[in-house]
Amino acid sequence: MSSPAPLRPASANPASTGGARSAHAQPAGARLPPPSPAVQAALRIVEHHRGTEGPLLPILHALQEELGCIPPETVQPLADALNLSRAEVHGVVSFYPHLRTEPPGRHVLALCRAEACQSRGAQALAEHARKVLGCDFHQTTPDGRVTLEPVYCLGLCAQSPSAMLDGKPHARLTADKLDRLLADASAAAHA
């Protein structure tokens, strides 16, 4: 197996194509610092997917599964290893709403925003969740307890409105049921 492309210092702008890297060029014989644990994980995952056609999405999913997010410092090494531009990798990460660049809270609450749930009170449930949690969709509570995410259909349309808390689906939700779910999750985390 061939080894991944050598690492180069990343631009501070994640959307950068990485052009004009010569400004960051290392003097001959200079040693780069060892890669961060996140970059090491990214390169290990790339090696696991070496030879896979169209590996970027599987690599990003695996990286997020392992680290909880796709840290910005991994974008350039992924681009280099996959012979893509930094902008291409950043574009994929920023396009898909389920990919995140920041770690989630201890609990992830995904509220269904699809039409069937909307017709059965999902909008009022979302407003209640925002008020109770003090954050909006794609945000985490200030104490890091809960990340609120939208999801577009959990397949529980006949039992709407629905949500998923930490990967477990919940149906026929009301504001009171949601409050109990969140309280139970917090109590379990402190137990």
Please answer whether residues 59 and 45 qualify as being in contact, where contact means their C-beta atoms are separated by less than 8 angstroms: yes
Instruction: Give tens-digit pLDDT for 64-122.
Output: 999 999 999 999 999 999 999 999 999 999 999 889 999 999 999 999 999 999 999 99
pTM for the model stands at 0.72
How long, in residues, is the chain? 191
Tens-digit pLDDT profile for residues 6-61 = 444 444 455 555 543 433 455 666 787 888 999 999 999 999 999 999 999 999 99
Return the SS3 of 130.
Answer: helix
* C-alpha dist (Å) from residue 184 to 56, 111, 168: 37, 17, 13
Q: Which residues pair with 170 in a beta bridge?
A: 163
Per residue in 118-149, pLDDT (tens digit) is: 999 999 999 999 999 999 999 999 999 999 99
56/66 Cα distance (integer angstroms)? 15
